[in-house]
Amino acid sequence: MNRVVDINDSTRWNRAIRDACGAFTTELRPEHSLFIGEMDQHDLGGFSFAELRTNAGRISKGLQSIDNADDRFCFLVLQRKGSCHLQLNGQSMDLMPGELALMDQAGECLIEPRGLIEHVSISISRERVQSMIPDRPLSGKLHTESAGGRLLRSLVFQVMKDHREGYLGGEGSRVQDALIALLVPALNGRAEVGALEQVMEGNSLRRQIERLVMEHLQRNDMTPEWMAARLGVSVRHLYRAFEHSDESLSRYVQLARLERCANDLSNPCLGDQSITDIAYSWGFSDFAHFSKIFKRLYQQSPRDFRAENAFAKGPSRCE
């Protein structure tokens, strides 16, 4: 594992990212006194994947020449914890926990983590992906609500479980074939809604709603009626801004609050705050409901999540 736990070691992090993924450059968050950058690479016999955990400000790369040696792969990315904003070859999107995206190693890419994130990046053959979808872009957010998208996500989780044993003989190649085959229905699902999603993402009302939510996320009285009144629109228009996306308005707010809670639970500097206080501070008013939906999203109770992601990290420098 390549670990970077201090801002002075960011050069090592950049070198590890370049070795694993290509010509990426990392920019740090100036407000962070402690830079977190961890990467664990696994060779499964036929293909590989990397687990990354970081609170970097931006991770980016420019357009590569198709003849460049740095264009062999596409990266199938699973967002495990936290969220980030992506710009992939001109497409702009957010990636929440459990969602998938396809990145083209030869294309432009910008990743902007919102706090501490974890994601898994599986390297698959760019040439084979292109042969399956010759007329489609090789990057973008995948439609995980479709049957193919759900199967793809399940297979990604299985690949992560199998890394200790690896694959024998031609198993690795066959698993890679299965991943690429499942990309097709996932991309088809994305294509059906992609144009509408881009319109809605570019819509000023949607952007206003998202900005309002983030500014008032700690209010437990942030109802649709309150938001509509603040924006001077009807509640119906509020809902219509989300009707062509994979999530509803209420789900968008819920995920944003859960993400902030997860970030605080991961922060060893907030170890003296109770889980209940953290949940209430981000707008939750029912702790039992919070615990239930947190466990559904992160596959851990808030207490276990904190023990694994904050207390287990040992002493940290807090300022």
What's the pLDDT tens digit per position in 36-61? 888 888 887 777 888 888 888 888 88
Last residue of a domain, one of 194, 228, 253: 194
Structural domain boundaries enclosing 296: 204-313
> Does residue 135 sit in the same domain as residue 212?
no
Sequence-ordered list of residues with C-beta below 8 angstroms from that of 102, at least 6 positions apart, any chain: 74, 75, 76, 77, 129, 138, 139, 140, 142, 183, 187
Element (H, E) at 118: strand 109-125
Q: Which amino acid is at 108?
A: E
Last residue of a domain, one of 158, 173, 194: 194
Rounded to whole angstroms, the Cα distance separating 195 from 137 reads: 13
**C-beta neighbour count of 7 within 10 angstroms:** 16
In the prediction, which pLDDT does 1 show?
38
Angle at which helix 171-202 crosses helix 147-161, to 10 degrees, equals 130
> Does residue 189 sit in the same domain as residue 256?
no
> Does residue 182 sit in the same domain as residue 296?
no
Is residue 121 a part of any domain in this protein? yes
> Does residue 102 sit in the same domain as residue 16?
yes
In the prediction, which pLDDT does 193 show?
41
For residue 38, list its beta bridge partners.
3, 53
Is residue 255 a part of any domain in this protein? yes
> Does residue 303 sit in the same domain as residue 169?
no
Q: How far is CA 19 from CA 66, 85, 176, 263, in A?
A: 19, 23, 21, 28
Q: Which two tokens stand for residue 61?
A: 């790369």
In the prediction, which pLDDT does 168 show?
66
Q: Which two tokens stand for residue 294?
A: 């947190």
Is residue 276 a part of any domain in this protein? yes
Is residue 199 a part of any domain in this protein? no
CATH number of the structural domain spanning residue 8:
2.60.120.280
CATH number of the structural domain spanning residue 238:
1.10.10.60
* Count of domains for the chain: 2
Q: How far is CA 13 from CA 4, 36, 259, in A?
A: 6, 9, 24
> Does residue 128 sit in the same domain as residue 237?
no
In the prediction, which pLDDT does 4 show?
37
Last residue of a domain, one of 194, 214, 239: 194
In the prediction, which pLDDT does 204 show?
67
Q: Which residue has the tokens 């439609």?
A: 143
In the prediction, which pLDDT does 196 show?
38
> Does residue 32 sit in the same domain as residue 156?
yes
> Does residue 27 sit in the same domain as residue 144?
yes
**Residue 32 near residue 10, CB atoms below 8 Å:** no
Is residue 157 a part of any domain in this protein? yes
> Does residue 109 sit in the same domain as residue 239?
no
> Does residue 57 sit in the same domain as residue 103?
yes
> Does residue 92 sit in the same domain as residue 215?
no
Which has the closest alpha carbon to 97: 250, 260, 207, 271? Answer: 260
In the prediction, which pLDDT does 200 show?
37
Report yes or no on whether pTM surpasses 0.85.
no
Which has the closest alpha carbon to 103: 82, 81, 119, 126? Answer: 126
Instruction: Kindly report, residue by residue over 1-22, the tens digit of the pLDDT.
Output: 333 334 346 677 777 777 777 7
Burial class (CB in 10 A: 0-12, 13-18, 19+), 314: exposed
Low-confidence ranges of the chain (pLDDT < 70): 1-10, 31-33, 63-71, 146-147, 166, 168-170, 188-204, 244-246, 311-319
Is residue 53 a part of any domain in this protein? yes
Is residue 37 a part of any domain in this protein? yes
Is residue 318 a part of any domain in this protein? no
> Does residue 171 sit in the same domain as residue 271?
no
